[in-house]
Structure formats: C-alpha cells, structure tokens
Structure 1
C-alpha cells in the first residue's frame, strides 16, 4: 500500500495565494504516495497513524481544535512525522508546544526578492542535491529566535545577497529536529507558485518529507 500524506493548509491569518498550486504540486512531487489535502480541522481530530507524514502547508493563525492539538502532540511524541512549509511558522502562536515542534516562530520578512541560500548540511536528503550556494527568490523569513542549538540546520540565508534581512550572519532557513520519538522538517521557503515549479525546490521538499517519514 502506498504511503499516505496529509497536507493541511487551513488559514485564519494571512493566506498565501500559492496554496492551491503548492498542494497540487505536492501530489506530483510525492509520486507514488497518496496525498490527502484538506483545510478541515476535523481531519486532525482522529488518529493520525494512517499518515506517513503530516505537512502544514503555509498555514496561518490558529488552525487546530483542542482535540486536534492533543492528537497531533501525541502523534509526534510517539514517533510521527511533521513537515512545516513556509508560513507554517506563523501558526498556533497561542500553543507553546507548536512553537517547540516547528523550531522557531516567524517574526517578519523583507520584500519578495532574489537572494542566496547557503547549504550548511549537504548530507541530508533535502539538501544533498543542491549547490553550495543556491540562488532562489523568496521572502527570506526572519524568526523571533534563532533555532540553532535545538535543531539541525540545513540551509542558511546569506543576508548580504538581498535587502532587509534582520537576523545577521547566522540566519537559519531550513532545519530538522526531533520531537519526542518523532521527526520534524521545516523550510521557510515556498512563498510563490514559481517555487513549486523549481526542480531543486521540489527535491528539497521531497527529501524533507521522506526523511521525516522514513529517516535518512
């Protein structure tokens, strides 16, 4: 039986126009996997073990019910897989566990513009295909705190390559971490439709999802 992926994209704050395009792209990116895309919080109110991984795709604001929070936390502590894409870090600000799960909370971003992402860890499935310096166009999220020390940093932003960066020389963009017995992958990239047409970004997402679901 093909692995099953839950893509959740509910928003109660800012809504990215790219969500429908990105959700459709994930079906293509994951190939043989069965992909369920929903914005219904009831989807997270039943046992989540049937999913090989859960993707929060540019979610924003408070998107889970109390039961959904309880089940997601239990799922991760017992070995689940969670992937956060782009605005997933702008989600569930009122739930401390979620901030820990993702690794850092969004603070601000400069204008959408070209810049350079630097591969810090080339041994991970989400980054091993990338050049050492990756030219990309995105919003280059700043975070309220630097997650380094509690995460495995995969990509950093070269703030000298774009205007308006606010974190300085050490600016993580993508990382992994463990939560209980579960695995978490987060990437701050993925603002626009065009990102999901980029083969390098597609492999970045697939590698992160596969790692979260199956390990290295």
Structure 2
C-alpha cells in the first residue's frame, strides 16, 4: 500500500513539473545576437514571449512575415533574443514586427533603446498578443497599444467568424482589402476604445456578427489602429491567433501594407 501511495505522489509531482509550453518561464536576454553582415534597412521579426506563447501560429507566421519582407525587397532577421534591442543593432532595421511578443520582454535599457528607435522614425508592426494585458511598461502601453486587453470569448465561442469593417479604406495599411470580410479568429476586447487615447482606428469588428458575450462587448470595437502621435509609424492589429489567419489573402495584404508603410518602403 505504501509503495502505491509513493508512486501516486511521484506521478503527481511529475505532472506538476511538466512545463506548459504556452507559459514559458520569463527570461531576460543579456547577450545580443550576432547579426548577418550587410543587414541594412531590414525587418526585425521578434516573437519573444515572457507571457502567453502562441505556439500555434508563431512558427508559421514568422515564415510568412519573412516572406513578405523578401517580396518587398528587404532582408529580415527573425529572433527570440530581445537583447537585439540596443542602439547599434536596431539601426540595421527600418521596422520591428512584434509577432505576438508577450509579457514585459524588455529590460529597462532595452526598452529605452526601443523608445529611441521609434523616436528617430523607426516603424513598429505589433500583432495579436503584442497588445495583450501582460505588457505593463507605461511607454509600451501608451505608444504601442493605447488601451488594455480585457479578454476574448472562450469555450466553443473562442474562434468565430466576425465582420471586419474598414474605417479608413484610404489608409495605406488597408489598401486593397476586399470586402465583405468575415475571418475566423480569436477576437480581443479592450477596456476602452483606443481612439479616446489618441489612436487612429483603421478597422473594427461588427459585434452583431459574432458573440462577444456581455462582459466583452465594447459597442465600437476597434481591431486595427495606428498611433499618429509617435514619430515612427506604429500600427497594431489584434488579429492573428491561428496559423491559417496568416494565409488569408486579406490579412497577408494588410501585413504587407503595414510593413511597407511602417518601414517607409517604397516611399
């Protein structure tokens, strides 16, 4: 009986010790990567996660984003190493793509280097979990997100099709989007409309076209916006939980437009 009891305790301990791949232990990178030679005017793709890790889409979306950069005629560098956020290395890039980068993944010095990058005109394209509530640093929240994530539908309602409505079809990020568009995604809600905090809304979702639930209903429900107050071009998109979202022709066009616009490519 005692042996059986001890075996049960051991199995429970093993189960508790099994790491959750969605919640890797937070780490802060101190040693910067060695960049390839002749990397200039490039696209930095960062999917560092000190919060929830979107293991479902990150591998595929990283490849899609690199392919988009190549099609725009620019090199890209994909990394999980946030120590690349230093003045010397960030000068090799015109735009930083935060691909569901979550949690406070930057040290104080790295965040200051990121702020200087944006202040001198560097572009930012932040995607999905780059705008969740695991980000606490005031500069990041005010500059990149402009609001606070409050949740998304769960259970059978986690993934639903919803009608995307384009508020600024003339904006370069939304150019060429074909409507009507009802993608299936995990729809984020936020505590306030980021427009009240100075953001410029490019697209929103029609809450009548899906089931947000009473606690997640926003009324006016933005899903893509920019920060016109930033010296660099900053755009955030809440879309993109699943790998297949990055193969959607409309979303790939938006990502292409966003990287081109934020990086001042072709302008």
For the aligned pair, the TM-score class normalised by the smaller chain equals over 0.9
**What is the aligned partner in structure 1 of residue 25 from structure 2?**
none
Q: In proportion to residue count, which structure has more helix?
A: 2
Find the residue that maps to 2:183 and give its secondary structure: strand
Find the residue that maps to 1:169 and give its secondary structure: coil
Q: In proportion to residue count, which structure has more strand?
A: 1
TM-score by length of 1: 0.93
**Equivalent residue pairs, number:** 216
Cα deviations across residues 29-53 of structure 1 (Å, max 9, x unaligned)?
2212211011111111343122010
**What is the aligned partner in structure 1 of residue 35 from structure 2?**
none
Alignment of 1:1-216 (within 5 A): 3-16=41-54, 17-30=56-69, 31=71, 32-47=73-88, 48-90=90-132, 93-102=135-144, 103-110=146-153, 111-149=158-196, 150-165=198-213, 166-214=216-264
TM superposition outliers: structure 1 runs of 4+ over 4 Å = none
Deviation at 1:9, TM superposition (A): 0.4
Deviation at 1:200, TM superposition (A): 1.2
> What is the CA RMSD across the aligned residues, in angstroms?
1.8
Find the residue that maps to 1:182 and give its secondary structure: coil
Q: Which runs of 5+ in 1 are unaligned?
A: none
Say which one has the larger Rg: 2
Q: Which runs of 5+ in 2 are unaligned?
A: 1-37
Q: Distance in 1 between matches of 2:229 and 2:239?
A: 22
